[in-house]
Structure 1
Amino acid sequence: MSIQTDIVIIVEGLSDKKRLTQVIKDPVDIICTNGTIGLSKLDELIEELEGRDIFILADSDPSGDRLRKQLKREFPMARHLYIDRKFREVATAPLEHLAQILLRARIDVHAQYLYKG
């Protein structure tokens, strides 16, 4: 059981979650959908995430686009964060790139990922 925070980031996989955890300084809940999300899990999430700031960070590929489309319907107020298409996957995007995306969303990140090259 994790401590509930105001900020929730929904990602596709565990490797995405691990990658973001390295960069993020704020206490943030990161939820993995494992690429797809069933209706019962989705209903559970809708209730659980009520009144929280939701961010969606999916891969820049067809499965990420499908997940984003599904979540856009269920969480119309969620903010969508996008990695550069050249990196394709959140799990393999450079930490500095992820830090910039998160910082623009006003999510605090560890300073060492901000000033590289």
Structure 2
Amino acid sequence: MDEQSKVLIVEGKQDRLKIKRILEDDDVQILCTFGTLGIDALENFVDEYNLFDRDVFIFTDTDEPGVNLRKMLNQELSHARNIYIDKKYREVEDAPDYVLASLLQAANMKVKVEYLKGFL
């Protein structure tokens, strides 16, 4: 198992790729659920990555599947912190890089400074 202290849970592979490109912090493990998980799959996911003992962040889309996944994850992982994108972007992968960078930075994750240019 990977021993990175922070875990960022996203829905899809494109979300993970985009965020991985923005993060400078190698201490963040980005996990994909590949959509909404059933109860058994969710329990296996939590156990497999030892999520009860780690610093967990949930970053899902604002559409119905994303909201449902967030609710399920929050029920299972009450210690997790949530990161939200503005509803106008709907999906994490569609949000501008500088928006994602600022949200990740606000969650105390190191981001590459060039991705904050929209705010500088």
TM-score by length of 1: 0.92
Q: What is the deviation of 1:77?
A: 0.6
2:104 equivalent in structure 1:
102
1:24 equivalent in structure 2:
23
1:67 equivalent in structure 2:
69
Q: What is the deviation of 1:26?
A: 0.7
Q: What is the deviation of 1:39?
A: 2.9
- Secondary structure in 1 aligned to 2:75? helix
Q: What is the deviation of 1:51?
A: 1.2
1:45 equivalent in structure 2:
45
Query: Among the aligned pairs, what percent are the same residue?
Result: 41
Structure 2 regions of 5+ residues with no counterpart? none
- Secondary structure in 1 aligned to 2:87? coil
Give deviations 1:56-114, integer Å, cap 9, x for gaps. 00001111110011111000110000011111100111000000000000000000011
TM-score by length of 2: 0.90
- Secondary structure in 2 aligned to 1:9? strand
CA RMSD of aligned residues (A): 1.4
In the aligned structure 2, how far is the partner of 1:4 from the partner of 1:39?
A: 25
Superposed structure 1 runs of 4+ greater than 4 Å apart: none
Aligned length: 116
2:78 equivalent in structure 1:
76
Contact 2:36-2:66 within 8 A present in 1 as well? no
